[in-house]
Structure 1
Amino acid sequence: MSTAAETRNWLELPLDVTASILYRLGAIEILNSAQNVCSQWRNICKDPSMWRSIDMRNLGDLWDMDYDLKKMCLHAVDRSCGHLLDINVEYFGTDELLSYISKRSLHLKCLRLVSCHNISDEGLSEAALKLPFLEELEISYCSISKDALETIGRSCSLLKTFKFNLQGCIRFHVESDDEALAIAQTMPELRRLQLFGNKLTNKGLQAILNGCPHLEYLDLRQCFNVSLGGNLEKRCMERIKYLRRPYDSTHDYEFDAEIHDTGSSDEDYPSGISDIDLMSDDYDDYFEFSDASDLSEYDEYVHFD
């Protein structure tokens, strides 16, 4: 077979096939490289249908990047022309960016925020008021209180999946059911709930079981203040189709699941489990932008068009 016959001309692919291939790239790859390959790819990448889902997944090394993720995200939202349904923001989220997204994406169904320490209770609450069609929300490793969770629950009545993940800690000095009660009181339509590393107790768990009657999936891994047993365990087994217990394996968990030690006495450990056991996956076998004025630099620095 000749070399010419073996060489593929990607420009001869049907446009819908090319669009399908490019759609599988993340927003960063599209804006940084794919759209610059040729005019045909650039035209495809400008189509609003390419931006119904925006994935800004990154490694968090913002200081080493030669591009601005926030400005890139703003441009991606603009390209969606109001048709954005799903967005993932990691490490660089701010109140201004969240406001920009919520004002221009009224039909947003899925929102994922990871390690966005510059998003406040107020910023998230204001955005939630503008997102009545939100069905899936993840807030992982962000500083958000029960007040914001209550606003989210009351504003997003269609919410069916909620992930609220924190860093696990084996020896808590403080127990808190504030977040669990906020969820129980304002999110009755939940089907899936993940509370990785939360400080809730059995009281908070009981409230969730009472307030979320449609719950089918519940992830309580590294929620070490919860002690499943007796009637509570029986109720969970009867109600929840898929239950992840506090000491279940974290091998399939997306983030760092290292357990931190706050320094209490060894009595806080379940009998027979050592520090090494708790740092291992094997221990599971032991247990059955707002307005333009807020973004004055935006137009000056965005040159993706």
Structure 2
Amino acid sequence: MEESKSLVRRWEDMEIDILVRIFKEFDVIELTSGISRVCSSWRLACSDPLLWKTVDLGILKSNFIQIPTLPYIWVDDRSNKKLTRVLKIAMGLSCGSVTCIIFHVNLYLKDDHLIHIAERCPRLKHLVLPAWDLITKGGICEAIRKWEELESMTMPYICSPPYIMEVIGMNCKNFTQLKVMGCFNVLFASSIAKYLPKLKVLSLRCSTLFMEALILILDCMEHLEVLNVAHCLFIEDLPPPASRRIIRELNEAIIEKAKASRLRTFFYCHKESCVLCQRMVNDNGSMRWFKYEEGSWRNDEVSSLAY
């Protein structure tokens, strides 16, 4: 009887590598729910860099209400408190090993959230941040200045893109991939051409895309290798008294221009039966992802930008 008792192993005696393999099956909410406080062995396992290369907050959403004035959303304080708690624990356990962080399309950060991440993730390479209504110009710029190793970013449309393109160009020398979710106009295109001339991959998937902006990208981005304009709502500016019109399909001249360019891969969609293209039309060029399949906002024809 005494011998059998001595063979009983406790959870805290389990090998660390076994615990890490188990914890790799947990999502970030589960990892930050308190398992690191069970014992010293579990704490050590929860701090293993293998668990924190990617912090996926795609399952965490804000409870928000759209409002007619800036910042156009009001976020329930309970959402902010939950996000703050998860980030604080995750950043503490990760010990600076995070290289990729993914935020839900409807998870609204504030400046203090972003700066907290930037200070504790100096090696960040990939950032998926498709919503930043509550983040100020100063907040995003301060964060990006700390991410010198940043290589790719998913971002929303912003009214004044030059400042963000400039700060990326000045501080992130390895930056080569950009995905824009929203509206892509001439100002956006010219900002990229000016400040990110060595960009290699650009995805505008499910965006409102102005034809003049597309032509500018094709003409000016000499180092661009991959361009994705699949499921975009194409807009053409017209001379007065008309203003603009929607183009359902790319014309052959643009397609041939893209094929004749330096691009290695050009993704576009010309199927009238395409569900995503129809959704873009129904949503007036601003995809309402919350109405559709959960996680569909993560997809991209460019594999390196699909999360």
State the TM-score, normalized to the length of structure 1: 0.66
- Superposition RMSD on alpha carbons, in Å? 3.6
| Equivalent residue in structure 2 for 1:123, among 117, 139, 147 | 139
Q: Which residue among 177, 181, 184 is the counterpart of 2:190?
A: 181
Partner of 1:71 in structure 2?
85
- Give me the whole-angstrom Cα distance separating, in 1, the residues matched to 2:276 and 2:201: 17
Q: Evaluate the alpha carbon distance shift between residue 66 and residue 99 of structure 1 in structure 2; reply closer, same or farther with a 3 A threshold.
A: closer
By how many angstroms is 1:165 displaced?
Answer: 0.2
Counterpart in the other structure of 1:216: 225
Deviations 1:35-76 (Å, cap 9, x if unpaired)? Answer: 467764343113355323211222525457696112311231
| C-alpha distance 23-135 of structure 1, shift in aligned 2 (>3 A) | same
1:182-237 Cα shifts (integer Å, max 9, x gaps): 11222233222111344443332232234433323222232412663354321312
What are the superposed Cα offsets for residues 70-118 of structure 1, whole Å, 9 maximum, x if unpaired?
2311231232222221112331311122122222322211111133321
Task: Name the counterpart of 1:194.
Answer: 203
Q: Would you tell me which structure has more strand in proportion to its own residues?
A: 2
Distance 2:180 2:219 in 1: 19
Shifted more, 232-241 versus 121-130: the winner is 232-241
SS in 2 for 1:76: helix
Comparing 119-128 and 205-214, the one that deviates more: 205-214
Matched, 1:93 2:109: yes
Instruction: Work out the CA distance in 1 between the residues paired with 2:207 and 2:80.
Output: 36
SS at match of 2:235: coil
Q: Determine the C-alpha separation between the residues in 2 that align with 1:155 and 1:13.
A: 44
Letter in 2 for 1:19: V
The unaligned stretches of length 5 or more in structure 1 are 1-8, 168-174, 264-278, 280-305
Equivalent residue for 1:245, pick from 268, 271, 277 = 268
SS in 2 for 1:70: helix
Higher alpha-carbon deviation: 85-94 or 192-201: 192-201
- Cα distance in 1 for residues equivalent to 2:212 and 2:80: 48
> Are the equivalent residues in 1 in contact too, given 2:100–2:127 (CA < 8 A)?
yes
For residues 221-236 of structure 1, the aligned pairs below 5 Å read: 221-225=231-235, 228-236=250-258
Structure 2: unaligned runs, 5 residues or longer: 1-9, 64-75, 237-248, 286-291, 293-307
Q: Could you list the per-position Cα deviations for residues 8-56 of structure 1 after superposition, in whole angstroms to 9, with x for gaps in the alignment?
A: x988875324313422432112112654677643431133553232112
CA distance in 2, matches of 1:219, 1:133: 24
Q: Secondary structure at the match of 1:225?
A: strand
Give the length in aligned residue pairs.
246
Residues 232 and 120 of structure 1: CA distance in aligned 2, closer, same or farther (over 3 Å):
same
Task: Give % identity.
Answer: 26
Q: Quote the Cα distance in structure 1 between the aligned partners of 2:213 and 2:55.
A: 34
**Following superposition of structure 1 onto structure 2, how do residues 1-305 of structure 1 map, counting pairs within 5 Å?**
14-32=15-33, 34-35=35-36, 40-62=41-63, 68-90=82-104, 91-140=107-156, 143=158, 145-147=160-162, 148-166=164-182, 176-220=185-229, 221-225=231-235, 228-238=250-260, 239-245=262-268, 257-260=279-282
Say which structure, 1 or 2, has more relative contact order (CA 8 Å, 6+ apart): 1
Change (3 A) 1:143 1:66: closer
Q: Quote the Cα distance in structure 1 between the aligned partners of 2:40 and 2:159.
A: 43
Q: TM-score, normalised by structure 2?
A: 0.66
C-alpha distance in 2 between matches for 1:194 and 1:136? 11
Residue range with higher mean Cα deviation, 76-85 or 45-54: 45-54
